[in-house]
Structure 1
Amino acid sequence: MKSDALRGHLDAMILAVVESEPLHGYGIIEALALRSGGELDLPTGTVYPSLRRLEAAGYLVSSWSEDTGRRRRTYRLSAAGRRALKAKRQEWAAFTQVVGGVIGHA
């Protein structure tokens, strides 16, 4: 999938994968790949700046955890992040309806 198609949607996708459970950065990358059927193979240089931006906005909260002897920053959704995700889902539904109405007609 072209990275241009993701512009403006990556934050919502990150919030969605963290919604069900806290994940570390690489776990988020793996979850995005899994949920997309392998179509999203995002580099860390794309995902980590988004994680920092989402945390600075108050949508994610992070903490350090140890996993098999490695310290990792784990991210979870904050209350503000849950509200933002709900709004982004509503925006996405409206967007896909409009675009589908335009390009879905022959």
Structure 2
Amino acid sequence: MVDLNVDEWTQEEYLRNKRVLEAEGVKVLLIDTILNPISGTETLTYSPPLLRSEPAGSVFVFYCDSGKSSKERLKEFRAKFPDHVCISLRGGRGYWRKNLRV
């Protein structure tokens, strides 16, 4: 069971929860808010019109360089996307380990 009532996921939680949720038919997207994609993983550039078209219940995991700004903006993201789950990536792009696998 994945807890979606949290503000942050670590990279390991993101990878593990993405696998579980997608097996249940829930879309999980890693959202780039700084126009700097993370190499080695699929990211989507922050675009409200595009994100609103994603299925209700989809999980958006937002990241910035350090994880600080994306966490501070969670209230804004949740207001913009009330039909989706919004979470921040702890540590942001700076803590992403491209060789980490779960």
Instruction: Decide: shared fold, TM above 0.5.
Output: no
Task: Report the structure, 1 or 2, having the larger helix content.
Answer: 1
TM-score if structure 1 supplies the norm length?
0.31
